[in-house]
Every structure is written in structure tokens, then in C-alpha cells.
Amino acid sequence: MRIATYNAAGLRPRVPLVLDWITEYEPDVLAMQETKVEDSKFPREEFEELGYELALHGQKSWNGVAVLSRSPISNVRFGFQDELFPQDCRILTCEVDDVTFINTYVPNGSAVGSDKFDYKLRWLERFDRYLREHFRPDQKLVWLGDINIAPRSEDVYNAKRFFGQVGHHPEEFKRLERIRDFGLTDVFLKHHPEPGHFTYWDFVIITAYAKNFGWRIDHIYATAPMAEVCEDCLIDRSARGRDKPSDHTFVFADFDV
């Protein structure tokens, strides 16, 4: 089973790129974030023609998550299943071929000390509770998406400069580590622990992609039953250099299930 994640940064202008990537890499499951499109306006026909089922949780202009699958999708759930957080279209849970997928677009946090940063920390705490309330570490589960945290110094092109800022802050590390303590393995690091691998290059820095000034903030995590059968996990850096790219690129992993 090939599983992929991609922050589209607005899907509609990226549809040709995503369709080309799907045709070339043939993922069984693709989780997308920041689709920025209402479900009624999602370009579902193009993906259905390639044989994919869709589960959508979108809204106009902001956020939005989607799961595409070659196999039937079941038990679709949106949000945290409670009233504690708004339905801001950041989390979609579903099952495919007896594997549970949790696709998330974790809040960015904007600036340390801001209300949005506080919201990000509280959101991560709520996600940790969501995991422990609804799932077990011995079941087949994959958490993936734009996590908006680069947890190691190797995951940022200039960690000394950015330490303590949004995306590379100790309070974020603490909450991510608590989530991982549920029993989750970062499958990219399992196969590629060396530095220099990034999934995001800021558009604001015009030369960021060319100079590899990146961050690794798009992750695939798996419980032991899935991590143990993960054959490899790769970042397709080249997609960031295609026509009309997102500022993120695809991460994909192969599982022998």
C-alpha cells in the first residue's frame, strides 16, 4: 500500500500537478491539506476518473482536508467529535482496507505569544486526547498531513536562527512528543534520519527552493503494526519545482500490507 500526503496550498490551481503526480506515483491513499474549496466545488470528477473515492471536509478560502483512495472509504469522521473546537476543517478520520487514517492540517500558529499560537498548542493537546480516546497503539493506524512542526534541528535549514519561533518551538516539541508517546513512529526518520530533507520551501524567499532553504513539516506517522511493515518513505522534492507548485511537496511511504 502506497500512502502519500500533500499540502496543496489551494487545490484548484494545483489540479493538473496533482493529477500528473498521481498518474506517475500511483498512491493507494492520498491525504491532502489546505484544499481551500467547499465540498460542492471540489474537482472530484477528475480524480474519480482515475479510480479514486473521495472523503472531503472543506470550506471556502481556508483550510480543508481530503482523502483519496483506490479502495472503498468507510467510517468517515470530521473534527474531534465534540463541541470543544470549531469545525475549521482541519481533521478527517477514515478507514481504508482495515487501516485507520487521520489526515490533519495542524494550525500554523502565526506568531509566538499570539492567540493563534495558543490555539495551536491547545489543538495539539486536544489531538493527543482524541488519539487516546478513540484508538489503540496496537491497531493499524496512520497519522499524516501538514503537522506544521519541524521537531529536530535537522528538520530546519537554519535551526539556530529559527529555534523558539513558530514551527520550531520547545512548546510544540513537547506536545508533539506527547502525541508520539501514544505509540507512533515517524516513518521517514525510520529510513532517512540524515539532515537536509525538507518538504516545504517558503515562497517569500524567492531562492528558497533552489538553495534548499526548507523545513520538514509534512509527516507520516504509524503505529507499530504499520511501522514494522513500512518498506520506505520518500520526499518527492521535484514536485516543488513543477509548474504552479504548492510551497509544499509530496511525502509518500510504502507499506507491505
Closest C-alpha among 5, 11, 214 to residue 92: 5
| Distance between CA atoms of residues 15 and 173, nearest Å | 33
Which entry of 6, 28, 52, 146 is annotated as an active-site residue? 146
Which entry of 6, 52, 105, 200 is annotated as an active-site residue? 105
| 8 Å CB contact between 148 and 217 | yes
3-class SS of residue 212: coil
Active-site residue 105, yes or no?
Answer: yes
Write down the pLDDT at residue 93. 98
Q: What pTM did the predictor assign?
A: 0.98
Write down the pLDDT at residue 83. 77
Active-site residue 146, yes or no?
Answer: yes
The conformational region for residue 34 under phi > 0 = left, psi -120 to 50 = alpha, else beta, is left
Q: What is the mean pLDDT of each run of 10 residues along the chain (257 residues)?
A: 98 98 98 98 97 97 97 97 84 98 98 97 97 98 98 98 98 98 98 97 97 98 98 98 97 98
CA contacts within 13 A on the Cβ side of 169: 18
| Distance between CA atoms of residues 167 and 182, nearest Å | 21
